[in-house]
Structure 1
């Protein structure tokens, strides 16, 4: 696997430790955690997005949902049209999994691969989404 966003470094440049901030993509579409799965799927289709960042009532990032994950929830025998994103968002609740922007890339890559995650939100010290770090497949 390789990172979605790469950056060329000149041969004569001094080596520096890259961070998540250097490689993350924009945050993209963000939605509230009280949105239903069906509405979120419609938002994804309209935005042509593969994931949505989920926020709580205070605007803090609580997790990330993917198209594949929401389709799995929708196709489940336990599915009802009342299921909210707060019930299915990866990382819902305090503590993550999230990445601080100054996390070294080597650490972030290890975390993404070890937990078999395709993407993780990058958040500031207040829990606000700055972007998304994603692995390409």
Structure 2
């Protein structure tokens, strides 16, 4: 018995086929000091996903976005992540064609793009690593 392919071929791939869960999330009222501690405790993470009080995705923040605040230590305890420049929407949707999402990521120079449902709740993240892994499937035969 032949095994079934994991995803349909070509342009029928969607963001839902490629998105991955991402566990490193913070609330938008997290201080820069607390976010920096998370980066210190998890040295391999490139970014933190930011969500609001209702759980809706607000974007993602990198350590480099925090550097200007970290230069002045008193800022870190009094400034919230929501006040820091970070990647914000629009975000990817699960039903979006993967080739469209890949092109949007390329044009916007995004390495990671949050995926949200129609209520704005975070479902996962689409990464260039995952898109590149599926790129042979995206290329027309």
Counterpart for residue 84 of structure 1: 80
Are residue 28 (structure 1) and residue 23 (structure 2) matched? Answer: yes
CA contact (8 A) 1:60 1:126 kept: yes
Query: Which of 9, 17, 27 pairs up with 1:15?
Result: 9
- TM value normalised by structure 1: 0.75
Bigger helix share: 2
* Alignment gaps of 5+ in structure 1: 1-8
Bigger strand share: 1
* Alignment gaps of 5+ in structure 2: 133-141
- How far apart, in 1, do the equivalents of 2:17 and 2:69 lie? 33
Counterpart for residue 50 of structure 2: 54
**Alpha carbon RMSD of aligned pairs, Å?**
2.5
Counterpart for residue 101 of structure 2: 108
- How far apart, in 2, do the equivalents of 1:130 and 1:14 lie? 21
Which runs of at least 4 in structure 1 moved beyond 4 Å after TM superposition?
none
**How much has 1:45 moved relative to structure 2?**
2.7
- How far apart, in 2, do the equivalents of 1:14 and 1:121 lie? 22
Which one has the largest radius of gyration? 2
CA contact (8 A) 2:14 2:97 kept: yes
